[in-house]
Structure 1
Amino acid sequence: MARQRRGIEMGVLLLMWQLLNTGLETFPPVTILVVAGQVCLFMGLIPVSWDAGGVCLSAQAVLKWREYERLVLSALEHADDLHLYYNMLSFLSKGRSLERHFGSPYFAYLLSVFTVLTSVTYVGLEVLLSELLHDKQHYKTCAIGFSGVIFALKVLTTSYWESGYRRYFGIRVSGKYAVWVELIAIQLMVPNTSFVGHLAGILVGVAYTQGPLKFIMDLPIHAIGFVSGPQMAQPRSYSDWGSGVSGYGAAQPSTYGWRVGSDINDADYDEAMRRSYETLQNEDTPRTFNPDDMQPDQDEIRRRRLNRFNVL
């Protein structure tokens, strides 16, 4: 069934207002193109031969019907305008940071791989649940939306930059565990969200930051000579498309330009994060009490006595 063109709904208006209020020039190109593409797809401005319900992701559709296109198309679709709004708003913040860090070509490559792997992981988890719980409903459960990929990206942002602690429902949680707490919190607040889809995204992100996925993804990059030369300092502008070597460190030149920079270099950023973390740690560490620190010197004692009696 072909998609019908929609009017401009509230979620789209809110997203446009956020973009204009923040400034389109503050977002790198791939991030903006992904958001614009999904908005145009939702509004029916891109002519396609399917509708959202026809490409939702399920283990049955992929494994039994062999509709492999759903592994990608399901991530680009959204149930309604607010679903689109919240997903794209979350993606904008993560996309801006990660695209500047990796470079636009590698970030586009990362999104493509994460989209497919998140969908494949989702299918695998649904099959596993179906077998373990002896419930074929998991085999047929259909999901759409970009939030699985967003959760994978969030694992990267928390791994590279976020430290310290956050509070959820009054509970203090280390930043490195924030994504797991949000997985539970979102499910409690919005029960109809796809827990398995979000979990699939987290597992893909962990496979990249802690597992072999990063190494595997970088093999073809190095094999084709996409990155070469000695390490160099990062440029400050992100208008140039970067080389996109994954990981955290100094930028490297390539035949395709420089890796995207940020407002401060890596050394300054590391130092700032170290100081912020130490400050937070000091605030959380109980202070030891030394009575000698509270004893004034003799001149101070004399001054207090004189002031007590108003003697000049």
Structure 2
Amino acid sequence: MQRRNKASNVGLLLLLSQIYQVGLNRIPPVTLVTLAINIFLFIQPLKRLDETCISVNECLYMKDWHRLYLSPFHHADDWHLYFNMVSLLWKGINLESKLGSAWFGYIIALFSLLVGVLYMILEIALAELLDNPMYKLSCAVGFSGVLFALKVLNNYYHPGGTSRIMGILVPNKYACWLELIAIHLLNPGSSFAGHLAGILVGLMYTKGPLKTIMEACAGQRNSYSSGGFSYSGNPYYTSRDYNVYTDGLNEEEQFERAMRNSLNDRGGSSRNYNAERRPYGFWFPPEGPSVEELQRQRLNRYERQ
């Protein structure tokens, strides 16, 4: 338990330090509130992880619908929170300044639910296609599904540029697909369906009817710079400023560093790492000889935060 608390202090303090370096007055309001909610629920979770994670079995079959809005805002550990929130910080600064605070808040709220719904649909499809009901028991938490959707939007509204993923230089418009594969290869236990759900929700907005439906439901067309959807305040940090406190690393390089730091912090082997590090969220393996012990240790550590 002490090592878990030590890890939490390191990741959380590092995240707070980076937020401080950006400056609270330079972070758009919806992005700041979303950061605050995620950090608060990491420090003081509403429920245990096994009661907030989303799965087909618990959410759909057991009718525990509150998991739809709880799961995105709970994180398994400090590095999970750190990487997701640093990514949110950069995407929020870029997108909220482009779309306006009200519309960006609308996107965050709706995407958080849609990613969960699509995640369950994909898990049902995998269970049927592969004839493996265990997919319906996979349970996940974390904001990275929403972040994948925001990555698609960011590449849409800020086209061009390249990203380096696992040493491969690719155009940003394809980066999310390579990152999807890279994360799954680096950590096979991560939720492929959760990340894919985020990408698909982003595409539904940029290429499909989702944006039009959202505008219709809002009762007006989002003009991005119109008074109702704009945020006036101090200028936001640019990508160049962001590099100052990320050591010039892009998101993928930060992910690889976070993985290495987490391994060093725990002092664990790659085998133990694969059992516990989940970039999309906390995943309860449906079966296995050490599942109950793993869950008990995880939940005990979590309850003592």
TM score, norm. by length of structure 2: 0.71
Contact in 2 for aligned 1:71/1:119 (Cα 8 Å): yes
Q: More deviation in 186-195 or 27-36?
A: 186-195
Higher relative contact order (CA 8 A, sep 6+): 2
Contact in 1 for aligned 2:26/2:235 (Cα 8 Å): no
CA–CA distance in 1 between the matches of 2:234 and 2:25? 14
One-letter identity of the residue aligned with 2:97: R
Shift of 1:169: 3.4
1:131-170 correspondence runs (5 A): 131-170=128-167
Give 1:67's match in structure 2, choosing from 60, 64, 69: 64
Shift of 1:167: 3.3
Aligned residues: 231
CA–CA distance in 2 between the matches of 1:75 and 1:28? 20
CA–CA distance in 1 between the matches of 2:216 and 2:33? 26
Distance of aligned partners of 1:263 and 1:42 in 2 relative to their CA distance in 1, 3 Å threshold: closer
One-letter identity of the residue aligned with 1:42: F
1:7-22 correspondence runs (5 A): 9-22=9-22
CA–CA distance in 1 between the matches of 2:232 and 2:205? 20
Shift of 1:95: 0.9
CA–CA distance in 2 between the matches of 1:81 and 1:146? 13
| 2:71 is equivalent to residue 58 of structure 1 | no
User: Once the two structures are superposed, what CA deviation does each residue of 1:22-81 show, in whole Å capped at 9, x if it has no partner?
Assistant: 22221101111111111111111x7x3x22221111011122101111111011111111
CA–CA distance in 1 between the matches of 2:54 and 2:175? 27
Distance of aligned partners of 1:85 and 1:258 in 2 relative to their CA distance in 1, 3 Å threshold: closer
Aligned-partner SS, 1:9: helix
CA–CA distance in 2 between the matches of 1:72 and 1:40? 15
Partner of 1:171: 168
One-letter identity of the residue aligned with 1:20: Y
CA–CA distance in 2 between the matches of 1:260 and 1:149? 25
The structure with the greater share of residues assigned to helix is: 2
Gaps of at least 5 residues in structure 2 are: 237-305
User: Once the two structures are superposed, what CA deviation does each residue of 1:233-281 show, in whole Å capped at 9, x if it has no partner?
Assistant: xxxxxxxxxxxx167xxx234xx474669969xxxxxxxxxxxxxxxxx
CA–CA distance in 2 between the matches of 1:25 and 1:100? 13
CA–CA distance in 1 between the matches of 2:165 and 2:229? 42
Aligned-partner SS, 2:208: coil
Distance of aligned partners of 1:258 and 1:26 in 2 relative to their CA distance in 1, 3 Å threshold: closer
1:1-312 correspondence runs (5 A): 9-44=9-44, 48=46, 50-221=47-218, 223=219, 245=222, 251-253=225-227, 256=228, 258=230
CA–CA distance in 1 between the matches of 2:35 and 2:231? 22
One-letter identity of the residue aligned with 2:9: E
Identity of aligned residues (%): 44
CA–CA distance in 1 between the matches of 2:98 and 2:49? 33
Contact in 2 for aligned 1:104/1:260 (Cα 8 Å): no
Contact in 1 for aligned 2:68/2:117 (Cα 8 Å): yes
Contact in 1 for aligned 2:53/2:139 (Cα 8 Å): yes
One-letter identity of the residue aligned with 1:92: L
CA–CA distance in 2 between the matches of 1:97 and 1:214? 18
For the pair shown, the structure with the greater C-alpha radius of gyration is 1
Aligned-partner SS, 2:169: strand
Partner of 1:288: none
Distance of aligned partners of 1:156 and 1:260 in 2 relative to their CA distance in 1, 3 Å threshold: farther
Distance of aligned partners of 1:166 and 1:257 in 2 relative to their CA distance in 1, 3 Å threshold: closer
Contact in 2 for aligned 1:101/1:261 (Cα 8 Å): no
CA–CA distance in 1 between the matches of 2:20 and 2:53? 31
CA–CA distance in 2 between the matches of 1:257 and 1:90? 23
TM score, norm. by length of structure 1: 0.69
Aligned-partner SS, 1:95: helix
One-letter identity of the residue aligned with 1:91: L
Shift of 1:194: 1.3
